[in-house]
Chain A
Amino acid sequence: MSTAGQNYLSASTGVRSWLLTTDHKRIGILYAIAVATFFLLGGIFALLVRTELAAPGETIMGQDAYNQAFTLHGVVMVFLVIIPAIPGILGNFVLPIQIGAKDVAFPRLNLFSWYIFMLGALMALSGWLVIGQVDTGWTFYTPYSAEGTSSVLWLTSAVFIAGFASIFTGLNFIVTVHKMRAPGMAWNRLPLFVWAIYATAIVQVLATPVIGITMVLLFLERLLQIGIFDPALGGDPVLFQHFFWFYSHPAVYIMILPAMGIISDLMGTFSRQQVSGYTFIALSSVAIAFLGFLVWGHHMFVAGQSALSSIIFSMLTFLIGIPTGIKVFNWVATMYKGSVSLKTPMLYALMFLFLFTIGGLTGIMVGVLAVDVHLHDTYFIVAHFHYVMMGGALIGLIGGLHYWWPKITGRMYSETAGRIAAVLVFVGFNLTFFTQFVMGSRGMPRRYHDYAGLLDQYPEFAAYNLASSVGSFVLAAGLFMILAYAVHSLVRGKKAPANPWGAVTLEWTHTGPIPDPHNFEKVPLVTRGPYDFHLADDVLGAAASASSESQDNT
């Protein structure tokens, strides 16, 4: 089977061995490369948007270019980055090893998903290059999207296709978790990352078909004028919003739940003790997945939905705060009296805790009907969702990538550089988006290409916008610094030990590189929970466990 010293990277080489691989680890890498490229692209669009807004009046582009830039930024970041990122990269790489499986349940379907994802992605991007630009915003609201440029057709097909990648990934993970667990890997021994990916997968499977059919109907609306969504033909544009948000609200949990899973693992490992409230964290993921299907109407408080529905949706929205709060409090409790080590991944976990809490609490604020009437379509909303999507989902991803980097690449990165970059990201992020909370609450509307006309009444908008733009460049500097030391680590990083963080979940129990092709020399027999540091002498060695507080025997 496996030859000693071989790992998944060296087992076979050449482009073919990558493009035809069915190894979940390699597919994770394929996702990583693709998503990183799209992230760079989406980031460039974001910087263009922020540069235009840095000063009043036209700075670098006119209104049409501006509308296209923010649309592409949104579409790329949502559909090509945040949704596929964590399940695609870390879910693929880590989840099967964490449950002691040889691979996912359907490895070929797994590779196929990647190809569908790439097809969707390339269609989305080529539509922009070849066919003409879309300027509807990532939400594609009708009637505008039913009338505007023809590339809407192209882009909706792209989203439809990329959606199937998400469905198949989710389907694969659900079956994998149900059927592929190693002996002894009971449900209550699953790492919380697995629980989170599992809950995410349920949402992917249940919600994504709805965006699929929505895109088909929008496509047909454009092609044949079927009159379902376009008011000029007797259709109902609010119905489109219902369809869209019935997917897209659950989709925000497709984005955040995996990050929450990463944070749970990081909190346990870097506090070196049991994650507090394991069962509560695990089941709150499932509760969030479920509740997430009941609140979509909070995006339509001022869109002409009936007052009664708005009130009901508003109240249901508050309920989401309960499972979310359960997680946040348990993460804090996990650190309490633990031996917390502030390595780079943990810095990101703490950053997540801080930023996500702000994002979540402002979510509850805009879930309050009367408050949202004022804040809807202002920069306050933009700030809210960036705190959760970037401050939550992406920061979680970055933390997770640092954490599993030694496992994935076999190399260490510079801890000092990692910490400096983390500070840059934190400062840049808050400078960019906290200012948006302030200006949004003072009435700065979102999606405006210019605010010169508002300055008579609100002179402060100039300073806030400038600060936000400066912040975005600081943030970009931090992200580029991460890229730089990641490349450096790949080329000349120190060889990583098998378990640099002293973690005790299964993927860290190897003494050397992951054996190829089956992840384990022999099928592991699981006898303890994922965060039972005191029972993990097999991984940590007796010496390590003696220094850990919660040891009971050696």
Chain B
Amino acid sequence: MAETSTTLKHYFVSSAQQFDAAKMGMWLFLVTEVLLFSGMFVAYAVYRVWYPEVFELSSELLDWRLGALNTLVLLASSFTVALSVHFIQRNEKEKVVVLLLLTLLCALAFMVVKYFEYTGKWSHGIFPGAGFAPHGDYAAYYTPYAPQFFSIYFVMTGIHGIHVLVGMGVIAWIVTRAIRGHFSAAYYTPIELTGLYWHLVDIIWIFLFPLLYLI
């Protein structure tokens, strides 16, 4: 990798060292993210093992078609972000901007779907925690421990959603940098790191979807 004096920080010996360090730092950060979510997965597992019937019944209320749609959207966005790393390595800068914008669009679509899912639940009285009071057709789902299922649903998808929002912010920022021509085959660390983060957000959803919607 070429030495670009503008991007090489003074405390590193070489760009390669700087790139390796940044990448390792990001991987470690992703490990902490996995552990953060693992706490919630444990809570899910515990309550699922204790009350499997409740979880099966309650998950009927989640629309698997919307979940599947969101899964496809996120997979597509992972693909576009991976392609953007691929093209920046070949210095095809316009393609990178387009791909990053597409990624952003997918993320937005995900959040829009999520918005309709959430408001749909709320309109039927399905809130996390003490506010849980399904009415109308949904009244039959008011069983003991159903609140736990929906608490876990809202907490996990909510925290995941926050991660999507953060990712959108970061992607929007690197798009502006890409437009200003900050990146090239010699220096593209931020794109690489954002891509890694985005894949993680995607992977977590890949686990959330079947656990909450399908089984």
Query: In the complex, what residues of A have CB within 8 A of residue B10's CB?
Result: 102, 518
Q: How would you classify the secondary structure of chain B's contact residues: helix, strand, loop or mixed?
A: helix
Q: A103 within 8 Å of B by Cβ?
A: yes
Which A495-554 residues sit within 8 Å CB-CB of chain B? 518, 523
Query: In the complex, what residues of A have CB within 8 A of residue B147's CB?
Result: 226-227, 233-234
Q: A243 within 8 Å of B by Cβ?
A: yes
Identify A101's interface contact among B11, B24, B35, CB under 8 A. Answer: B11
Of A132-140, A172-180, A272-280, A439-447, the segment with at least 4 beta carbons within 8 Å of chain B is: A172-180
Q: How far is the CA of A459 from the CA of B151 in the complex (A)?
A: 51
* Interface pair B43/A233, CB less than 8 Å apart: no
Of B78-86, B124-132, B174-182, B185-193, the segment with at least 4 beta carbons within 8 Å of chain A is: B124-132
Query: In the complex, what residues of A have CB within 8 A of residue B21's CB?
Result: 105-106, 175, 178-180
Q: How would you classify the secondary structure of chain A's contact residues: helix, strand, loop or mixed?
A: helix
Of A206-214, A295-303, A306-314, A335-343, the segment with at least 4 beta carbons within 8 Å of chain B is: A206-214
Query: In the complex, what residues of A have CB within 8 A of residue B129's CB?
Result: 220, 223-227, 233
Identify B43's interface contact among A178, A223, A224, A228, CB under 8 A. Answer: A228
* Interface pair B32/A239, CB less than 8 Å apart: no
* Interface pair B151/A227, CB less than 8 Å apart: yes
Count: A-B pairs, CB below 8 Å:
106
* Interface pair B28/A205, CB less than 8 Å apart: yes
- Fill in one digit per residue for A91-135: 1 if any B CB lies within 8 Å of its CB, else 0: 000000000011101110100000000000000000000000000
Query: In the complex, what residues of B have CB within 8 A of residue A243's CB?
Result: 39, 42
* Interface pair A209/B39, CB less than 8 Å apart: yes
Which B144-202 residues sit within 8 Å CB-CB of chain A? 144-145, 147-148, 151-152, 155, 159
A224 to chain B, nearest CB (A): 3
A63 to chain B, nearest CB (A): 30
* Interface pair B11/A224, CB less than 8 Å apart: no
A1 to chain B, nearest CB (A): 9
Q: B120 within 8 Å of A by Cβ?
A: no
Q: B46 within 8 Å of A by Cβ?
A: yes
B161 to chain A, nearest CB (A): 14
B176 to chain A, nearest CB (A): 20
A546 to chain B, nearest CB (A): 37
* Interface pair B20/A205, CB less than 8 Å apart: no
Closest residue of chain B to A104, judged by CB?
B11
Q: A167 within 8 Å of B by Cβ?
A: yes
A11 to chain B, nearest CB (A): 14
Decide yes or no: A214 and B39 within 8 Å by CB, A175-B21, A225-B129 being known contacts.
yes
A116 to chain B, nearest CB (A): 14
* Interface pair B25/A210, CB less than 8 Å apart: no
Query: In the complex, what residues of A have CB within 8 A of residue B36's CB?
Result: 209-210, 212-213
Closest residue of chain B to A221, judged by CB?
B129
Query: In the complex, what residues of B have CB within 8 A of residue A325's CB?
Result: none
A280 to chain B, nearest CB (A): 27
Decide yes or no: A175 and B24 within 8 Å by CB, A209-B39, A213-B40, A227-B148 being known contacts.
yes
Interface centre among A105, A216, A217 (most CB of B within 10 A): A105
Query: In the complex, what residues of B have CB within 8 A of residue A171's CB?
Result: 25, 28-29, 32
Closest residue of chain B to A170, judged by CB?
B28
Q: How far is the CA of A523 from the CA of B14 in the complex (A)?
A: 13
Identify A224's interface contact among B24, B32, B130, B145, CB under 8 A. Answer: B130
* Interface pair B11/A239, CB less than 8 Å apart: no
* Interface pair A239/B46, CB less than 8 Å apart: yes
Which B20-62 residues sit within 8 Å CB-CB of chain A? 20-21, 24-25, 28-29, 31-33, 35-40, 42-43, 46-47
Closest residue of chain B to A518, judged by CB?
B11
Closest residue of chain A to B43, judged by CB?
A228
Closest residue of chain B to A519, judged by CB?
B11
* Interface pair B43/A206, CB less than 8 Å apart: no
Which A48-91 residues sit within 8 Å CB-CB of chain B? none
Q: How far is the CA of A494 from the CA of B36 in the complex (A)?
A: 50
B121 to chain A, nearest CB (A): 14
Query: In the complex, what residues of A have CB within 8 A of residue B145's CB?
Result: 234
Interface centre among B25, B46, B144, B148 (most CB of A within 10 A): B25
Q: A377 within 8 Å of B by Cβ?
A: no
Q: How far is the CA of A206 from the CA of B30 in the complex (A)?
A: 11
Enumerate chain A interface residues (CB-CB to B < 8 A). Answer: 101-103, 105-107, 109, 167, 171-172, 174-175, 178-180, 205-210, 212-214, 216-217, 220, 223-228, 233-236, 239, 243, 518, 523
Q: Which 10 A-B pairs have the closest CB atoms?
A: A224-B129, A213-B39, A226-B151, A225-B130, A209-B35, A103-B11, A102-B11, A209-B36, A226-B129, A179-B21
A sample of 13 inter-chain contacts (CB < 8 A) reads A105-B21, A171-B29, A171-B32, A179-B21, A206-B35, A208-B32, A223-B129, A226-B128, A226-B152, A228-B47, A235-B148, A239-B46, A523-B13
Enumerate chain B interface residues (CB-CB to A < 8 A). Answer: 10-13, 17, 20-21, 24-25, 28-29, 31-33, 35-40, 42-43, 46-47, 127-131, 144-145, 147-148, 151-152, 155, 159
Beyond A107-B11, A212-B36, A233-B130, list 10 extra A-B contacts (CB 8 Å): A175-B25, A205-B32, A210-B36, A213-B40, A216-B159, A220-B129, A225-B129, A227-B148, A228-B152, A239-B43
